[in-house]
């Protein structure tokens, strides 16, 4: 018997994943917005977040969280990190025991600095928790372009079972048991995407972008391994792969934020014009706290934070990075 998939969240990536899983399993999506739900059910589209994209015809949607959660054999959380816990609490009364819960979020919870699987384990102990991550730009996947992702869970038997739900045509899903590394790679690369976006907006050039990406990888690997992630994870899809896609693409929300900052816009102006969440903006706060907690130097993240929250200019950020003393590339730092 095929598994039933429940997905919470009607944004671009949540809707994309729901459309993918609908090819392999009965899938129901939950969204608060009644217009979005009606559009998915009647026209197989979500024009607010995926203009021009046609969703799988078997995907259905509802505004009832109970309807989705109570019948699901696997629950997918397509909810931004700062709202993740509250929506999970809404789902809690309806979820059956031992149902796997998979996060799509790429961020850290402010205040607690927790990863999403940690929140799942805290709120719903006993439920296998995992993350689907990697270099995945929703609009490209909907247009039929090839992509790869990673499903990361401690229990590889469950991960392999769920792998088949997500695999679809040119969308290939691999497994990885390093949940810490996979989640941190997804969260930390968003800050680097803001940095490269700032460079693009200020017309800093491709050499600068290459330096930011490679030194950014070193930076996120230092913190990620200090927190328990495996170094090889950061060289794979959940690390380098996701970092390159997000830093290079104008379709990336975090790159967009950085680009607009580089063009001279204020953060408030940029956020007001967006209809989706750029996770790196909030994650930057948690990351600077973690860098202090683990005594890890993160100069790029620090300069991005100063631009976002301390009124520094993009020029000042790049000037500070240029002044940094360069040591051996093989040594930490």
Binding residues for NAD(+): 9-14, 138, 253
Residues at the binding site for sn-glycerol 3-phosphate are 106, 134, 189, 242, 252-254
Instruction: Select from 90, 96, 110 the least CA-distant residue to 31.
Output: 90
Residues at the binding site are 9-14, 32, 49, 106, 134, 138, 189, 242, 252-254, 277, 279
Show which residues are catalytic. Answer: 189
* Residue 151 φ then ψ, to 5°: -105, 120
Q: Could you tell me the CA-to-CA distances from 61 to 15, 18, 71, 75 in Å, in that order?
A: 10, 10, 14, 14
Helix (H) or strand (E) holding 186: helix 179-201
Q: Could you tell me the CA-to-CA distances from 148 to 163, 238, 253, 257, 278 in Å, in that order?
A: 12, 10, 19, 25, 21
Provide DSSP, 290-309: HHHHTT---HHHHHHHHHHH
Residues at the binding site for NADPH are 12-13, 32, 49, 106, 138, 253, 277, 279
Q: Could you tell me the CA-to-CA distances from 235 to 31, 218, 221, 232, 255 in Å, in that order?
A: 35, 10, 9, 5, 21
Q: How many Cβ atoms from other residues are within 10 Å of residue 199's Cβ?
A: 25
Provide DSSP, 78-128: ---HHHHHHHHHHHGGGPPTT--EEE---S--TTT---HHHHHHHHSTTS-
Handedness of CA 147, 153, 155, 158 (dihedral sign): negative
Helix (H) or strand (E) holding 133: strand 129-133
Per the CB < 8 A criterion, the answer to whether 141 and 113 are in contact is no
């Amino acid at each position: 018997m095929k598994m039933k998939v429940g997905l919470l969240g009607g944004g671009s990536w949540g809707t994309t994943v729901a459309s993918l899983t609908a090819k392999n399993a009965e899938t129901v999506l939950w969204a608060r917005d009644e217009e979005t739900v009606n559009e998915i059910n009647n026209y197989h589209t979500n024009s607010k977040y995926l203009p021009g994209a046609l969703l799988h015809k078997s995907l259905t949607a509802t505004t009832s969280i109970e309807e989705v959660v109570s019948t699901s054999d696997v629950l997918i959380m397509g909810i931004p990190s700062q709202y993740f816990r509250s929506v999970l609490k809404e789902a809690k009364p309806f979820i059956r025991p031992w149902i796997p819960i998979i996060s799509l979020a790429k961020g850290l919870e402010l205040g607690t600095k927790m990863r999403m699987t940690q929140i799942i384990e805290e709120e719903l102990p006993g439920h296998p928790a995992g993350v689907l991550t990697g270099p995945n730009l929703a609009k490209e996947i909907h247009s039929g372009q090839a992509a790869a992702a990673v499903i990361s869970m401690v229990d590889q038997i469950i991960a392999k079972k769920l792998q088949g739900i997500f695999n679809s045509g040119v969308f290939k899903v691999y497994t990885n048991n390093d949940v810490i590394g996979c989640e941190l790679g997804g969260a930390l690369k968003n800050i680097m995407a803001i940095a490269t976006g700032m460079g693009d907006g200020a017309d800093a050039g491709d050499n600068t972008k290459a330096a930011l990406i490679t030194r950014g990888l070193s930076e996120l690997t230092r913190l990620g391994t200090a927190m328990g992630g495996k170094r090889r994870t950061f060289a794979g899809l959940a690390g380098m792969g996701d970092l390159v896609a997000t830093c290079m693409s104008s379709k990336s929300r975090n790159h967009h934020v950085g680009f607009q900052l580089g063009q001279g816009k204020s953060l408030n102006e940029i956020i007001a014009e967006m209809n989706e969440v750029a996770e790196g903006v909030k994650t930057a706060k948690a990351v600077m706290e973690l860098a202090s907690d683990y005594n890890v130097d993160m100069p790029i993240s620090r300069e991005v934070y100063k631009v976002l929250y301390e009124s520094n200019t993009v020029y000042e950020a790049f000037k500070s990075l240029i002044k940094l003393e360069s040591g051996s590339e093989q040594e930490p730092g």
